[in-house]
Amino acid sequence: MNLLDALYLPAAVVTAPWWARKTRGGWSERFGRIGPLPPQSPGRKRVLLHAVSVGEVNTLRALVPMLSRESDVVVSATTDTGLARARALFEPAGAEPVARVVRYPLDFSPAVERFLDAVRPDAVALVELELWPNFVARCGARGVPVCVINGRLSARSFRGYHRFRSFFAKTFGALEFAAVQDSAYAQRFVAMGVPESRVRITGSMKWDSVSLEDTAPGAKELAETLGIDPSRPLIVAGSTAELPGAAESEERLLHEACPAGVQLLCAPRRPERFDAAFETMGGTGHCVRRTAAADRTATRSNDRFLLDTIGELRAAYALADIAVIGRSFGGLHGSDPIEPIALGRPTVMGPHYANFEAIVAAFREAGALEIVEPSRLGQVLAHLLADPTRRAAMAKAGRACVRAHQGATAVHADMILHMAGARTASAERS
């Protein structure tokens, strides 16, 4: 145990009432006790990619297959939902895994050591940020280079980190490189201690994690199972959440703003909110839950639907006449709007999107995304539904914008493989 571990212990005690309320699994894995991995392939490097939750895992959809052509890839995630999504993408049932999926450990040094002993990576890439001091330090002690990919450091997060810059500067400075999404993020990484020569602006890999298709696998089956009526308009709201500081939720906002006769499907971001969202949208007799729909005969008498599963949001967006991006109507800093826009769906978002400023700015400039205050949501939805020409123009502009920004993933893959190769060559020489 080191000094940092000693600091973590009282912090864990103080925050125990918060994290104890949440259902979490995999505690043994959180302490670094992961199952055995297959032996490393001869002549190939092993690259560890770490993504916190579902959004970061989805960012890796195009990167993992690229890296797996030349290296063994291990993907780690922190949250239960992130782990489930990673397994669905990279360890699909009945198919050969593209990567091995494990749970990322807590940042206690014994847990980190056990984890690194099991994975034995040649290089580590952290998606967006997720810099934990013990983990970075223990990788450094083993000669394992660590980088940040698809780097993002919002103004809000930067203020928090910079307040303790003297503590975090060593961790930031230890990065082999930081591949960041835009110039604002680059300046913040440099300010936190990454040498300017190691910061590269690469754009966002999120643009590459989507395909420009009109539909998605499973969309037709989802519609049939839920009983969605294809003759009536459907609004799909993804990653919905509670509105901070109010006894309300985005599901209620959408339920009340949805024009008469229009169907609404909500997909809450957090599974622990599924039950509350179901009741908000009318409960039994009015709202159809995805997990219960398979046990009933699909009818078209309902107009409220709850997607209480993980990994089907893209299929739901493919059914939409209009998509709405959740976590954007309160103080939660937004969600990623790329997926529905790439599917050609006109998309609406609330005024809070600090975590996706560059992406939102690109879409707004292209005329592909409408930002709306909560009080005007119903009016905007009604106008869009009544204007197919406007919806078609937004869809066309959105896809053109996505296409224009793609390409960052290949750049990241080259940088990661070069980093892993340089480390391997150095180790062989020593």
Average pLDDT over residues 51-67: 94
pLDDT at 423 over 50: no
Please give the average per-residue pLDDT across 33-59, as a whole number.
93
Q: Looking at per-residue confidence, does 333 or 4 come out higher?
A: 333
Residue 73, burial from CB neighbour count under 10 angstroms (0-12, 13-18, 19+) = buried
Architecture field, domain 219-405: 3-Layer(aba) Sandwich (3.40)
Fold of 24-35+44-210+407-429: Rossmann fold (3.40.50)
Q: Where are the domains of the chain?
A: 24-35+44-210+407-429, 219-405
What DSSP string runs through 365-414? HHT-EEE--GGGHHHHHHHHHT-HHHHHHHHHHHHHHHHHH--HHHHHHH
Q: With b meaning 16 or more CB within 10 Å and e meaning fewer, what string describes 5-31? A: eeebeeeeeeeeeeeeeeeeeeeebbb
**What's the pLDDT score for residue 4?**
76
* pLDDT band, residue 174 (cuts 50/70/90): very high
Beta bridge partners of 102: 76
Residue 22 in this model has a pLDDT that exceeds 70 = no
pLDDT tier at 426 (50, 70, 90 boundaries)? very low
Q: Give me the pLDDT at residue 26, please.
A: 79
Q: Which of 26, 29, 78, 32 is nearest to 52 (CA)?
A: 78
Give me the pLDDT at residue 310, please.
86
Selection from 372, 336, 370, 371 nearest residue 356 by Cα: 336
Q: Mean pLDDT, to the nearest integer, of 149-156?
A: 92
Residue 429 has pLDDT above 80, yes or no: no
- Report the run of H or E that residue 199 belongs to, with start and end: strand 199-201
Structural contact between residues 251 and 240, judged by C-beta atoms closer than 8 angstroms: yes
DSSP string over 79-132: SHHHHHHHHHHHS-TTS--SSEEEEPPPS-HHHHHHHHHHH--SEEEEES----
| Of 113, 93, 97, residue with least CA distance to 105 | 113
Burial of 324 (0-12, 13-18, 19+ CB in 10 A): buried
Please write the tens of the pLDDT for every residue from 323-369.
Answer: 999 999 988 889 999 999 999 999 999 999 988 988 999 999 999 99
Q: Report residue 123 CA to chain centroid gap.
A: 22
Domains 24-35+44-210+407-429 and 219-405 share a fold: yes
Cα–Cα distance measured from residue 218 to residue 187, given in angstroms and rounded to the nearest whole number:
42
Per-residue model confidence (pLDDT) at position 296: 54
Average pLDDT of the segment spanning 226-235: 96
The overall average pLDDT reported for the chain is 91
